[in-house]
Chain A
Amino acid sequence: MSERNAVSTLIIDDEPLARAGLRHLLQAIDWIRCVGEAADGQTAIESIQRLQPELVLLDVQMPGCSGIDVLRRLPPPAPRIIFTTAYAEHAVAAFELGALDYLLKPFGAARLAAALDRVRASLGEPLPSTLDRYGEMLANGPMQRLFVRSGRSIQPLAIADIHWFEAVGDYVVAHTQNGEHILHLALSRLEARLDPQGFARIHRAHLINLSHLARFRRELDGRLIAMLHSGVELPVSKSKAQVFRDLAR
């Protein structure tokens, strides 16, 4: 499941060792899946169009066609791009072209991790603090997946697989088929990043995935209960119930 939801990533660098090093670094990251490599600009363009990766780690100095030119020539929508290069002078052009980050060689795991935080922000993850506004700015559309921390690793979780969110104190519990995941953020902040057509806030503390909703049931006392396919029953607050009744009418 983690494999399916992992962010597909392409490595492009003309130096074999630089590619091997990046591959090694990325292997340690659960939510990243390397889908391929390319050693020159022309092959890079073809690979990006064929494999449709979500993230590309792109070298600037390459034979044939530079990384900057690769990004210029790509028909939209371009994947998320992190440039990797020993040359600082192309940074302005890179950011103008909408690059997520610009890694100056030599870099190691720590700097790469910071760039990958930005990738997650751009994928729609509402980061606990407003650490990376830039990544969030570049995010487009409602988020499709969440990244949950389990132990020291970060796991991708498809939004579609989440049945409902529950606010518990300062954090949120995401309920799925396979268990519960704790997210350290406010439910309202999470709700803002989700597709409003797909999710409904039925209660101060409950946000349900409408594709997992079986039906609503009215109790004898007039209370409304949301019944999920999983069998979970959640109460709808009075004010929200009114909204649903209005919708049904």
Chain B
Amino acid sequence: MGDGFRDTRSHSHGQLTGVTHSPSPSRSWFWLQLIIGWLPMWALFTVLIMNVHGAPFAGAAKVALRMIVSGALVGLGVSALVRRCPWPYPFRWSFLLVHTVAAPLYALAWIATCSLIESLVRWRLAFDMGPGLGRFVVTGVWLYLMITAVSYAQQATQRTALIQAATARAQLAALHAQLHPHFLFNALHTVVQLIPLDPAKASHAAELLAELLRSALDEKRDRITLAEEWRFVERYLAIEQLRFGDRLQVTTTLPVDLMDATLPSFALQTLVENAMRHGAAPKLGATHLHIEARIEAGRLCLIVSDDGVGAEPSAMSQTKGTGLHRLRERLAGLYGGNAKLTIQASPAGVTATLHLPATHAALTPFQAASNDDE
């Protein structure tokens, strides 16, 4: 059942990404854009040929059209190269090297294509030397720069749109992911059932649930301290404990001196929720959940291990659109290559380890005082 549900969710996620990830317009629109983009170039080349060679307008336009069509055709290859070789963040010199090699190659291919068209039109072998090979190659390199500039500008626009969409999606997904709707409904059911059985416990459970909801809705920060994160996870686990009873045992190793270390908000929650849903819930017997924080080689390690039903390692790594997948996306955004999430899955259980740079919350005097109180 759990699997069926996961499928549905990744499906809806896929639909969402389908909408936001496709700024690519239809095919005919692509060709129209290409033609409109190259039209001013044709005009420019016509004027240049008329001025430099003193050619009549009709002849110049014909020659310019030949040059522009071949430039655009070979240019399609340049656009493909730009797609294969996106602008590097941060900048790499190898990127420049690729284009230094590609530019003269483009120029030569352009000249060859011009000659080919010339030959086809005249139906005999013709070499189109234009204003001379040197100038022709320089013009080619110039065209190459124009094409790459436009392509990279387009890429940057798309990238911005994607980032904006991803941010919006992350906000929408945050509550959905951190406090799963089914967790909420089941927790509410627990509260409803408790009302006649144990009213005091029922009101305590309702309070816990309200605090969880408030944190999940209010938390706007990307990074919070381990102490804050643990407060949230603790309440979540308290509700799960009510639901699962003896079937859930939780132990923790959370050193006090690590409690002001920072981590992405809801990162630990994602790992714990994953262990609950895919490890503990489907298991017949009791599940032991261990949550640990430690410093390893100067880096903060957060470890959530369970001896639940376990999973095949391949199944764990490939699920898209799950909480873990979103957490990986966030880690990449927040830490680049500096954070790592590893999942060790076996039929005996799952251990999720999050490696983060060990950063501590910048303590303002006020925060330091309140931390002392705890």
For the complex, give the distance between the alpha carbons of A190 and B223 in Å.
69
Q: In the assembled complex, which residues on chain A have CB atoms less than 8 Å from the CB atom of B192?
A: 21, 106-108
Q: In the assembled complex, which residues on chain A have CB atoms less than 8 Å from the CB atom of B245?
A: 15-17
Q: In the assembled complex, which residues on chain A have CB atoms less than 8 Å from the CB atom of B54?
A: none
CB pair A21–B197 under 8 Å, yes or no, is yes
Among listed A57-65, A137-145, A153-161, interface-contacting one: A57-65
The yes or no answer to A29 lying at the interface (CB within 8 A) is no
For the complex, give the distance between the alpha carbons of A14 and B284 in Å.
9
Chain B at the A interface: SS class? helix
The yes or no answer to A20 lying at the interface (CB within 8 A) is yes
For the complex, give the distance between the alpha carbons of A18 and B8 in Å.
26
Q: Which of A14, A17, A106 contacts B242, CB < 8 Å?
A: A17
Binary interface profile of B, 189-216, with partner A (CB < 8 Å = 1, else 0)?
1111110110000000000000000000
The yes or no answer to A131 lying at the interface (CB within 8 A) is no
CB pair B196–A24 under 8 Å, yes or no, is yes
Report the minimum CB–CB distance from B277 to chain A (whole Å).
10
Residue in chain A with minimal CB distance to B194:
A17
For the complex, give the distance between the alpha carbons of A33 and B229 in Å.
46
Q: In the assembled complex, which residues on chain A have CB atoms less than 8 Å from the CB atom of B281?
A: 61, 63
The yes or no answer to B244 lying at the interface (CB within 8 A) is yes
CB pair B186–A86 under 8 Å, yes or no, is yes
Q: In the assembled complex, which residues on chain B have CB atoms less than 8 Å from the CB atom of A63?
A: 281-284, 309
Q: A63-B281, A87-B182 are in contact. Are A105 and B243 (CB under 8 A)?
A: no
The yes or no answer to B47 lying at the interface (CB within 8 A) is no
CB pair A106–B185 under 8 Å, yes or no, is yes
Binary interface profile of A, 9-31, with partner B (CB < 8 Å = 1, else 0)?
00000111110111011000000
Binary interface profile of B, 277-290, with partner A (CB < 8 Å = 1, else 0)?
00001111000000
Size class of the B contact interface (CB-based, 8 Å): 20 to 34
Report the minimum CB–CB distance from A196 to chain B (whole Å).
44
Q: In the assembled complex, which residues on chain A have CB atoms less than 8 Å from the CB atom of B188?
A: 105-106
CB pair B182–A86 under 8 Å, yes or no, is yes
CB pair A15–B190 under 8 Å, yes or no, is yes
Report the minimum CB–CB distance from B159 to chain A (whole Å).
36
**Which chain A residues numbered 46 to 100 have a C-beta less than 8 Å away from chain B?**
60-64, 66, 68, 86-87, 89-90
Binary interface profile of B, 315-344, with partner A (CB < 8 Å = 1, else 0)?
000000000000000000000000000000
CB pair B284–A24 under 8 Å, yes or no, is no
Report the minimum CB–CB distance from B370 to chain A (whole Å).
36
CB pair A18–B190 under 8 Å, yes or no, is yes
For the complex, give the distance between the alpha carbons of A171 and B191 in Å.
42
CB pair A24–B197 under 8 Å, yes or no, is yes
Q: A15-B243, A63-B282, A86-B186 are in contact. Are A106 and B191 (CB under 8 A)?
A: yes
Among B189, B191, B244, residue most surrounded by chain A Cβ atoms (within 10 Å): B189
Q: In the assembled complex, which residues on chain B have CB atoms less than 8 Å from the CB atom of A66?
A: 1
Residue in chain A with minimal CB distance to B2:
A61
For the complex, give the distance between the alpha carbons of A15 and B205 in Å.
15
**Which chain B residues numbered 294 to 332 have a C-beta less than 8 Å away from chain A?**
309
For the complex, give the distance between the alpha carbons of A40 and B283 in Å.
10
Residue in chain A with minimal CB distance to B182:
A86
Q: A15-B190, A24-B197 are in contact. Are A86 and B1 (CB under 8 A)?
A: no
Q: In the assembled complex, which residues on chain B have CB atoms less than 8 Å from the CB atom of A89?
A: 4-5, 8
Report the minimum CB–CB distance from B356 to chain A (whole Å).
33
Pairs across A and B, CB under 8 Å, 19 listed: A15-B186, A15-B244, A15-B245, A16-B245, A16-B246, A17-B242, A18-B189, A20-B193, A20-B197, A24-B193, A24-B196, A62-B1, A63-B282, A63-B284, A66-B1, A68-B1, A90-B1, A106-B185, A108-B192
Known: A15-B243, A16-B245. 7 other contacts (CB 8 A): A24-B193, A63-B281, A87-B1, A87-B5, A89-B4, A89-B8, A108-B192
Q: Which residues of A contact B (CB under 8 A)?
A: 14-18, 20-22, 24-25, 40, 60-64, 66, 68, 86-87, 89-90, 104-108
Q: Which residues of B contact A (CB under 8 A)?
A: 1-2, 4-5, 8, 182, 185-186, 188-194, 196-197, 242-247, 281-284, 309
